Amino acid sequence: MCHSGAMSSLRRVPWPLRGLRPALAVRALRGWTARQVLVALGSGLAVAVLVGMATVLIPNPFFAREIPPVWWNYPVWLVTSVLSGMLAATYVRGTDADGAQSSRMGLAGGVLVWFAVGCPVCNKLALLALGYAGAVTWFAPVQPFLALAALVLTGAALLWRLQGQVACPVPPAGAPASAPRPVGASR
């Protein structure tokens, strides 16, 4: 039976952050290989270019933006790109510590950042649902909250993956697997 004090403090933590232990994540980062660092850099750059070009945070001849970006679009775009690159690098080793939950949170964070830093009237979904005036009046004020949600979800997904690399390590290929122990058996 769990201690009631531990359970009551656990209930106060917001859902995406419940069960996260940043110390394990830091330990996992210290153990990253050069390959994982390169994947993180490459993936982060790819996300930055993809989101930056499509939302015209990077000026380009392919896309246009009717409403100029606001000051917070740039840091949200860059931080989410870095977090997304690092999240992609956690899949290099093939660990699967709660992979389904972290994958969903990472995907949700990526989609939310797209809506958060994009032009409110260039977003076809917002434009169809709300019209031009509605997109400016209703969708634009919500974008900072979408940005915050994108950062929290992507960061939480990254922490889940990183702590799983330490808490539930996958043995290297070719290493002998240990036999399962009966319940209650000591080491």
More confident residue, 129 or 18: 129
Q: pLDDT (tens digit, 9 = 90+) per residue, 41-97?
A: 999 999 999 999 989 999 999 988 888 999 999 999 999 999 999 999 988 864 444
- Whether residue 14 is contained in a domain is answered as no
Residue 49's domain spans which residues?
A: 20-167
Please indicate, yes or no, if residue 112 is contained in any of the structural domains: yes
Provide the 8-state DSSP code for 135.
I
Task: Output the pLDDT for position 6.
Answer: 46
- Domains of the chain: total: 1
pLDDT for residue 37 is more than 80:
yes
Beta strand ranges found along the chain (DSSP E): none
Q: Is residue 157 part of a domain?
A: yes
Residue 2, pLDDT > 90, answer no
Instruction: For the full predicted model, state whether its pTM sits above 0.75.
Output: no
- Is 176 inside a domain boundary? no
pLDDT at 5: 47
For residue 183, tell me if it sits in a domain: no
Q: What integer best gives the mean pLDDT of the chain?
A: 78
Q: Crossing angle, helix 73-89 and helix 140-167, to 10 degrees?
A: 20
Residue 38 has pLDDT above 50, yes or no: yes
* pLDDT band per the 50, 70, 90 thresholds, residue 8: very low
> How far apart, in Å, are the Cα atoms of 106 and each of 57, 60, 102, 147, 149?
21, 27, 6, 13, 11
**8 occurs within a structural domain:** no
Least confident of 9-23, 46-60, 143-157: 9-23
pLDDT of residue 160: 86
Angle at 11 between CA 7 and CA 13, to 5 degrees: 125
Q: Is residue 77 part of a domain?
A: yes
Is residue 175 included in any domain, yes or no? no
